Amino acid sequence: MRFHVVRYVRPRLACACCDRIAQAPAVSRPLARSYAGAALLAHIATAKYLDHLPLYRQAQAYGREGVSLSESTLGDWIGALHELMRPLTDALKRHVFAAGKLHTDDTPVPVLAPGTGKTRQARLWTYVRDDRPHGGEAAPAAWYRYSPDRKGIHPQTHLKHYNGILQADAYAGYNAVYETGRVLEAGSWAHARRHFYDIHEKRPSVITNHALETIAELYRIEADIRSKPPHERRAIR
């Protein structure tokens, strides 16, 4: 890793004849009133969200390189980046939620609990649009949303304007969404199969074996018709 400072010199020139001052315009920066360049901001955001490196650890790493950046400064930059990227994230959300069918799931995320020396469990909600399995040509995409807990109000807020089919697990937080009548529930075979598999691993029986074999047959059919148009998939099923 290497840090460098780019210094822009903009001499101000005056003309004695016409009494005018000329100066080159200031260089455009990603964040107003900030000396951080695009490369540094991209590095900080990538380290935080892709490499899961907290800002306080980044500040320590930069300090070892002789670059003094406080946690508060890094936090301000990350917050400003969120606002800078909002037009793109809003466009991504519109594209994802324009689909007739969505797949959603939530993932536990450990986050720091300042002052306790421990972490607490937050949630990352994912909404995926992927029309390729049934021959769709729309670009696949995923929209993510963070929440500090797993309360049902979060998916209910995310989906308050959605109309279509929602494929999700049996989390009770989605029930209020289905009750609106705007969203049709599509169950998940993966989640249903998981319970039979767990029981079969502990206490195999004729029932669990039959369930797993039947679901395996359905999976084989789905593997053969993946990416085919809906009418062909329906006929084969």
Residues 41 and 83 sit within 8 Å (Cβ to Cβ): no
User: Which pLDDT tens digit goes with each residue over 90-124?
Assistant: 999 999 999 999 999 999 999 888 888 899 999 99
Phi (first) and psi of residue 167, to 5 degrees: -100, 120
Lookup: tokens for 65: 């390189």
Domain residue spans in the chain?
A: 36-85, 94-236
What predicted TM-score, i.e. pTM, was given to this entire model? 0.80
* Those residues with Cβ within 8 angstroms of residue 2's Cβ, 6 or more apart along the chain or in another chain: none
Lookup: tokens for 94: 């519109």
Q: Which of 211, 217, 164 is nearest to 192 (CA)?
A: 211
User: Which pLDDT tens digit goes with each residue over 49-92?
Assistant: 999 899 999 999 999 999 999 999 999 999 999 999 999 999 99
Residue 139: pLDDT over 80: yes
Lookup: tokens for 135: 């021959």
CA distances from 13 to 21, 24, 28 (A): 6, 10, 21
Identify the band that residue 9 occupies on the pLDDT scale cut at 50, 70 and 90. Answer: very high
